[in-house]
Amino acid sequence: MSEAATSPRPRIAAVIVAAGKGLRAGGGLAKQWRKIGDKTIAQHTVDAFDTHPSVDLIQLVVAEDSDPAHWPMAARGQMQITTGGATRAASVLAGLAALAGKADLVLIHDVARPGIPHHVIDAVIAALATQQGAAPALPVTDALWRGDDLVTGTVDRAGLWRAQTPQGFHLHAILAAHGTYQGDAADDVAVARAAGIEVAIVPGDPANMKVTSPGDFARAAQILEKGQMDIRTGNGFDVHAFGPGDHVMLCGVAIPHERGLLGHSDADVGLHTVTDAIYGALAAGDIGTHFPPSDPQWKGAESHIFLTHAVDMAAGQGFTITHADLTLICEEPKIGPHAAAMRARLAALLRIEIDRISVKATTTEKLGFTGRKEGIAALATVTLVRP
């Protein structure tokens, strides 16, 4: 067996630098501890590395006077915390020193870049297989000027890049480089190059923006929310007994039958079940919550009213119904001849394509109340998505 086949995977650590004051972004609190959505910037950033399958250890660097109540948590992997210095370079050196002997490769990342995509991390790690260092960047595409109030000149943008992080290195090399570097540095690439370490450029991503000014919070929120799709699944179950009548209403379709279904409304067990599934996905109770059977105005009501209310509620919260699966449980009437019409009616009421609707039937092999032909039961599952 070859040496390459037996060599262990390199241990990879991420140094997240969170020791800065971060007050230019406003808010009276260091930007890394301010929230975007329900999580701090620091937590968003830690989560990006914590969920990456190749990152084994996270080294968070905080200021000496940092409040531990603000510190993020790592749910999957290991995280250790150390105190930084007066400059960014000093803080990075502290983080690197705390990793000595614990990692082979290190990814140094600014805490204020919470939108870092996994594919950028992948690119940096891949480049380190053959390079001493690697960092993501975006090519400069805008025209560049010199001047103050007036334009005094232009700058050729050919070969210019907008630097991003994480900037990746072999740990022993970048630790040695930081140990001998004098003064502060704009980033770790500057420290590496001063030590003679070559740094490859890998593709960055616009989502990997740095939160610096107050206006950046809204832009970062759009990026983070876009990547957090909310998918909900709801279940519904309902039963109605047979009673006097000459038809049953199922999914808005009148099916001739020697008996009807009993209920305060039109007793459409199919629509009731799908409606409850939507309410369930929204954590919004059930039909009885919104349309109490004690209220006489709903006596004999057509059940599409209930379903339309649930669909409107989902849409009002930004959800799209993407799928509905309904199973009717009964010995009679026969569902198969009417399934196509039921699917079409459900598709119209749910405002989705018919190929996203399933209506099927089963029996209980003559067991239980459905087996004794005393009524109909129904079970439904729906899926809601909010981008």
Residuewise pLDDT in 10s, the chain (387 residues):
344 455 689 999 999 999 987 666 555 688 999 998 889 999 999 999 999 999 999 999 999 999 999 999 988 778 999 999 999 999 999 999 999 999 999 999 999 999 999 999 999 999 999 999 999 999 999 999 999 999 999 999 999 999 999 999 999 999 999 999 998 888 999 999 999 999 999 999 999 999 988 888 888 888 887 656 688 999 999 999 999 999 999 999 999 999 999 998 999 999 999 999 999 999 999 999 999 988 999 998 999 999 999 999 999 988 999 999 999 999 999 999 999 999 999 999 999 999 999 999 999 999 999 999 999 999 999 999 976
E strand intervals along the chain = 12-18, 35-36, 39-40, 57-62, 78-83, 105-110, 133-139, 144-147, 151-155, 161-163, 167-170, 199-203, 230-243, 247-250, 253-256, 260-261, 320-329, 357-362, 375-386
Superfamily of domain 3-226: Spore Coat Polysaccharide Biosynthesis Protein SpsA; Chain A (3.90.550.10)
Considering only CA atoms, which of 184, 77, 190, 84 is closest in space to residue 133?
190
pLDDT at 308: 96
Q: How far apart are CA 15 and CA 94, in angstroms?
A: 10
- Amino acid 99 reads L
pLDDT at 59: 97
Domain ranges of the chain: 3-226, 230-386
Considering only CA atoms, which of 85, 40, 37 is closest in space to residue 61?
85
In the DSSP assignment, the letter for residue 337 is G
Cα distances from 232 to residues 144, 235, 280, 383, in angstroms, run: 47, 10, 9, 6
Query: Tokens standing for 91?
Result: 């803080």
- SS3 (DSSP) at 255: strand
Q: Which fold has domain 230-386?
A: 60s Ribosomal Protein L30; Chain: A; (3.30.1330)
